[in-house]
Chains A and B, each alone.
Chain A
Amino acid sequence: MLNKITKQQVHHVAKLANIPIDDSEAEKLATGFRETLETITDLQSVDVSGVEPTHQVTGMENILREDKVDDSRTFTQEQALANAKQTHQGFFVVPRLIKK
């Protein structure tokens, strides 16, 4: 399966990551992906039959907060918009997302 990383798959992953790439880049990346996956495949040889699956490594559980408003971290509208490329009347502005 590992030998079969196709250009299409690379394009798919690039699209999901929102990174524009052209065909020649896809070609190069396909090779790169293969090498990375081969390295990761080495992990498959480790015997984990006695290891419990885990979701995380900190060992922490139930880190929750009470339902209280904490104004101390709230931005003003100006602060919230400070790094935006484009704004309009207090909104962030992006190119139109839905076709008319």
Chain B
Amino acid sequence: MSESCKYHLVCGMEVHAELKTNSKMFCGCKNDPFGAEKPNSHTCPVCLGMPGALPVANKKAIEWTIKLGLALNCKINLFSKFDRKNYFYPDLPKAYQISQYDIPFCYEGVIETSHGPIRITRIHLEEDTGKLLHKEIKGEDVSLIDYNRSSVPLIEIVTEPDIKSPEQAEEYGRALRDIIRYLDIGNCDMEQGGMRLEANISLQENGKEGLPNYKTEVKNINSFKFAKQAIEFEMERQEEILEEGNIPKQETRGWDAKKSVTFSQRTKEDAEDYRYFPDPDLPPIRFTTEQIEKIRKDIPKLPHVLVKEWKENYGVEERYSSILFNSPSEAKWLEELFVLSKKEGLKANKLVGAMVNKNVKYNFTDKVESVINEFKKLNKTDDVSDDDLIKIIDNVIKANADTVARYKAGEKQLINFFFGQTMKALGKKVDGGLLRKLLTQQLDK
């Protein structure tokens, strides 16, 4: 979209993510559709939708949904239930998906991005569908179905239309994935469909309040980069339509990653009619405030909070700390390391710098003491008096008269040559800053 554009983006996102429980959402089948040795090998009467089979909800999946909600500053519905979303499509053998309609587990949260906050409308829990493959077999166009994924717990995170740029959409997706992974509740493997993105996109004229009178929904986006590109593409496409005095069609569009375009999939005329109603097979769920508080206590401090705290308490720069850890246990180890380095009078930022630059080798299984010792060794300097040092420097200068002449003529970078020669002659480790100072002093004499 052009710089001088008279429209701005109005965008909300819907993100689906599979939870990595051991068993499925409503039955005891193994939740491992990607690791299954063959198709349709992790199924039972419940997840194949056989008549009379009775679903029973997975407690851990519900607790994890609430855990994510709390981490995203959501309010929690103490009373909740599951509903049936009815539609005929072979990826769902029951002809309905168990989902949540009007009482999701979590609502009204917020997530921070560098472009501003994005409000979370709701987080609900549902079951994933079977996986479809479209193929030609013996000249016949068919779809193949694998129900190993049927009834895998799936959360849907819906935002308010607060996303103001394609970049913010990308950042939001990544932030959400990082939090889900950090909470250790989902793998969010995009390539395997463990996390799927949808964006509701429209443009509003600058200066106009409220939401535009249309929106397009782009579905099945399987990377954060594609989300950004799809939004960029839609902004341009919609701007053209608006500029012609028309309103873009209310429709569902797909993303073609090969051509980097969106394409029309379904228009409003055949919009879904899901006829939601409470699932009579699944009694409602009621939590107490105490139970919710117990889940809240289990939530580790999130990375962005730690990064901020470490900066304040130990002077550790974000460029180091943000790339050092991927799990709460690794964060805990780092915290211990910082406490000890402070006690030892060491600069934690120098230490992590050395760790990031691999000058100090470390493992999260190491004792923090050994890492501190490793760092001390690196910075250890031998005692050499200034006089002795100057003697050696003068020898080096004498032995390299030609180079000294070039240095004096302006090739100041030759200081590094003298530095190296002096170090070699010295055979000991000295403070580099001091050596450089003395070298300059003697050379400039």
Contacts and interface: CB of A to CB of B under 8 A. Distances in A.
Interface of A: 12, 16-18, 55-56, 58, 60-77, 80-81, 86, 88-98, 100
Contacts of A93: 137, 142-145
A67 B283 contact: no
Nearest to B130: A92
A17 to B, nearest CB: 8
Contact of B141 (A17, A56, A64, A96): A96
A9 to B, nearest CB: 11
A98 B266 CA distance: 12
Given A80-B40, A96-B142, A64 B58 contact: yes
Contact of B58 (A62, A67, A86, A92): A67
13 contacts: A16-B87, A55-B81, A63-B283, A65-B28, A67-B60, A68-B23, A73-B28, A80-B40, A91-B145, A93-B137, A93-B142, A93-B145, A94-B142
A95 B141 contact: yes
A8 to B, nearest CB: 13
A100 B95 CA distance: 24
Nearest to B86: A16
A66 B24 CA distance: 11
A28 to B, nearest CB: 23
Interface string B11-37: 000000000011100011110000000
Interface string B125-144: 00000001110010001111
Interface of B: 21-23, 27-30, 38-46, 48, 56-62, 81, 86-90, 95, 132-134, 137, 141-147, 273, 275, 278, 280, 282-286
A64 B57 contact: yes
Most buried by A among B42, B56, B280, B283: B283
B142 A18 contact: no
A89 B142 CA distance: 13
B44 A55 contact: no
Contacts of A58: 283
Given A61-B285, A95-B141, A97-B143, 18 more contacts: A16-B88, A55-B81, A55-B278, A62-B283, A63-B282, A64-B62, A64-B285, A67-B59, A68-B28, A69-B22, A73-B28, A74-B28, A80-B147, A90-B39, A91-B144, A91-B146, A92-B144, A94-B142
Nearest to A16: B273
B137 A88 contact: yes
B40 A69 contact: no
Given A65-B28, A68-B23, A94 B147 contact: no
A70 to B, nearest CB: 3
Given A75-B48, A92-B90, A97-B132, A63 B23 contact: no
Given A61-B285, A91-B144, A77 B56 contact: no
B81 to A, nearest CB: 6
Contact of A75 (B43, B58, B141): B43
B90 A97 contact: yes
Contacts of A95: 141-143
A73 B59 contact: no
A77 B38 contact: yes
Contact of A96 (B56, B143, B146, B282): B143
Given A18-B95, A55-B278, A63 B56 contact: yes
Given A69-B23, A80-B40, A56 B283 contact: yes
Contacts of A12: 273
A91 to B, nearest CB: 4
Most buried by B among A86, A91, A95: A91
Contact of A60 (B58, B132, B283): B283
A18 B44 CA distance: 25
Contacts of B28: 65, 68-74
A14 B143 CA distance: 24
Contacts of A92: 40, 90, 144-147
Most buried by B among A16, A18, A60: A16
